[in-house]
Amino acid sequence: MDGRSETTTRMNEGLAGGRVGAEADAFAARDLAEQLGAVAVAVARAEAARIEAWDGLILRHEFLPSAQNLAAWLALRAIDLRPLQPRLSALGLSSLGRCEGHVRASLDASLAALERVAGLGRPAFPDPRRFTEGQARITARRDALFGARVDGPGTRVLVTLPGVAAEAEEFVARLIDGGADAVRVNCAHDTPDAWAAMIGHVRRAGAQAGRRVPVLMDLPGPKLRLAAVVPAPGGAGKDRDKAQKSGPEKSGPEKTGKGKSKGKHKAHAAPPLTAEAGASTGGLPKLSPGDIIEIQAGAVPCAPRPAQGARLAATLSHPELFGHLSPGVEVSFDDGKLTGRVTLCEGAAARIEILTTRTGGARLKPGKGLNLPGVDLAIPAIGAQDLECLDFVVGHADMVGLSFAQTPADVLALIAAMEARADGRPLPAIVLKIETPLGLKNLPEMIVTAGGRLPVAVMIARGDLAVELGLARLSEIQEEILWLCEAAQVPVVWATQVLEGLLKDGQASRAETTDAAMSQRADCVMLNKGPHLLEGLDFLRTILMRMERHQDKKSPRLGALGLWTRG
């Protein structure tokens, strides 16, 4: 065979091989189109059924497309898509891994492409606007709730005001000038007069800066706490504490003997942050694993009898929840600093054995939080204290934080309470604070109940969630909440202990710096109060702007990398 004939033969073989490959691709595409088509049909049916069930909840027509997309996403995520994803990617199609904001459009586009590859016709691709409408809604809602900026990161920064901000207008102005997009006032602390002063400072500073700075006011909510704590007679022994004095905290880094700062970040002249007022801890013992304490049903505890071996007795801020303390129930105190298990219940007293504490032991003080992981506490989110706060909140706040939101009934109770106080004034937007497993379970319905009536956002309150779910479970749950809020097209706030080491001590850890970088995928991130709040705000904004170059929520942004690619 001469060279020309050999070349022709190879070309024919290549063409034949190409036809075989194309036929194989078409066969694979037809099979995949059939399977994905079945998924699309199931999603459409489930979406329609869920929207019908939600029909009475959606009173704002503008929220309907968001509810429809959420319903479609919930239907899609009820199906295990993992077997289909690599096959879709192999054909150069979307694996549906980033379809939260446009579920039906993503399914329609993938099906249209598959049918073309399979030779089943040339169906039209969906309108490109269907892929951008969802993000446009989230962006508009983020700006409306947490402020609109053109000179900062896309992720907004929500800053918690300390109580002393009521008397420190210059400090508030420096926060606004430093880049705070919105501020948070915690109604569990301070007084209406102090809240009014803080908000007045914020409004004036915002006007001076030429932008609107929204105010979120968090309701106290039904946080389960230790009410009173009494040590056993002589039980404190050598662990006896000196009475704590309420006084100003240091506003700058801790000083060494030569007057040098131990923290790396220089503190600005922020006002001193007053320590939270609390009961004296005089006489309260340090608890260690193996120690026994009592929780008593009454409003005022009696000291446990020494013969029982209990180190202390305490009552609950919600005595009606005492009945949940049964043998075997696990108990977590003070955001997990101590854990225990109920070993015995006799009449009006439950005995708890301490299982874990931090090294050196820990004390339980009045006002410390208490969680019962795995136990659904049927307690309304709106109580008497919340109703008193709402007298001020309605008419002053731009947003109201519904703490420990657990059910749609909690949302409706909040809206009814606000309407009763509105007197013709617009109602604040609602921020659903997700802090319990029950609230997590009911989150879709709570979003629709709130968003169907008022603007809504979601806050991932990771402190109580971590205690209730465990840190390992929290690591995936915070991701799932981000996805769900993207599907619902509502803003989400990343909260709790963000840059806590920097805010309190002037130095960030590597772990919390990474956590702050992860927060860029939320629409807003919350900073708590601390002596180094101004430094924390500046550092967080720097991280957010750096990460924004590389990431847009779940989607990598592939800008040119200079580190390894420059000549």
Q: What is the pLDDT of residues 506-544, one digit of tens each?
A: 999 999 999 999 999 999 999 999 999 999 999 999 999
* CA–CA dist 94, 232 (Å, integer): 65
Q: Which of 373, 392, 420 is the last residue of a domain?
A: 373
pLDDT for the residue 23: 64
* CA–CA dist 546, 30 (Å, integer): 43
Tokens of 363: 């004390």
391 with 539, same domain: the answer is yes
69 with 444: CB under 8 angstroms?
A: no
Which helix or strand (DSSP H or E) is residue 39 part of?
A: helix 3-53
361 with 445, same domain: the answer is no
Angstrom CA distances, 224 to 220, 315, 333, 390, stand at 11, 11, 10, 20
User: Predicted confidence band at 258 (pLDDT cuts at 50, 70, 90)?
Assistant: very low
Q: What is the pLDDT of residues 363-407, one digit of tens each?
A: 999 999 999 998 888 789 999 999 999 999 999 999 999 999 999
Q: Is 303 helix (H, G, I), strand (E, B) or coil?
A: coil
Residue 171 belongs to some domain of the structure: yes
383 with 333, same domain: the answer is no
User: Predicted confidence band at 557 (pLDDT cuts at 50, 70, 90)?
Assistant: confident
Q: What is the pLDDT of residues 424-439, one digit of tens each?
A: 999 999 999 999 999 9
B/e letters for 20-32, b = 16+ CB within 10 Å, e = fewer, are: eeeeeeeebbeeb
**Mean pLDDT lowest among 142-151, 291-300, 301-310, 444-453:** 301-310
390 with 508, same domain: the answer is yes
Tokens of 307: 């013969």
Dmax over Cα atoms in the chain, in whole Å?
A: 109
Q: Which residues partner with 339 through β-bridges?
A: 332, 356
Terminal-to-terminal C-alpha distance of the chain = 49
Total domains, the chain:
3
Residue 258 belongs to some domain of the structure: no
* CA–CA dist 135, 485 (Å, integer): 11
Q: What is the pLDDT of residues 96-131, one digit of tens each?
A: 999 999 999 999 999 999 988 888 888 889 999 999
Whether residue 260 has pLDDT greater than 70: no
Type of residue numbered 283: G
Tokens of 453: 């009536």
Query: Phi, psi at residue 468, to the nearest 5°?
Result: -70, -40
Q: What is the pLDDT of residues 183-195, one digit of tens each?
A: 999 999 999 999 9
Residue 267 belongs to some domain of the structure: no
CATH number of the structural domain spanning residue 452: 3.20.20.60
Q: By C-alpha distance, which of 35, 40, 34 is closest to 107? A: 40
434 with 316, same domain: the answer is no
User: Predicted confidence band at 178 (pLDDT cuts at 50, 70, 90)?
Assistant: very high
* CA–CA dist 504, 309 (Å, integer): 37
pLDDT for the residue 150: 75
pLDDT for the residue 107: 96
57 with 203, same domain: the answer is no
292 with 203, same domain: the answer is no
215 with 175, same domain: the answer is yes
* CA–CA dist 503, 515 (Å, integer): 14
331 with 400, same domain: the answer is no
Q: What is the DSSP letter of 425?
A: P
A 10 A CB-CB count for 107 gives: 23
Q: Which of 75, 107, 126 is the last residue of a domain?
A: 126
pLDDT for the residue 120: 81
459 with 399: CB under 8 angstroms?
A: no
Q: Which of 322, 339, 373 is the last residue of a domain?
A: 373
Q: What is the percent of the chain where pLDDT is above 90? A: 70
Q: What is the pLDDT of residues 160-175, one digit of tens each?
A: 999 999 999 999 999 9
Q: By C-alpha distance, which of 158, 204, 175, 194 is closest to 532? A: 175
Report the predicted TM-score, pTM, of the whole model to 2 decimal places. Answer: 0.85
Average model confidence (pLDDT) across the chain: 86
406 with 512, same domain: the answer is yes
Rounded mean pLDDT of 457-469? 93
Helix locations, 245-342, DSSP H: none
Rounded mean pLDDT of 59-87? 97
Residue 242 belongs to some domain of the structure: no
Residue 280 belongs to some domain of the structure: no
Q: Which residues partner with 215 through β-bridges?
A: 183
Helix locations, 54-210, DSSP H: 64-76, 85-90, 103-117, 133-146, 169-177, 192-209
**Mean pLDDT lowest among 39-53, 199-213, 492-506, 550-564:** 550-564
Q: Which structural domain, as residue segments, surrounds residue 337?
A: 225-234+286-373
Residue 277 belongs to some domain of the structure: no
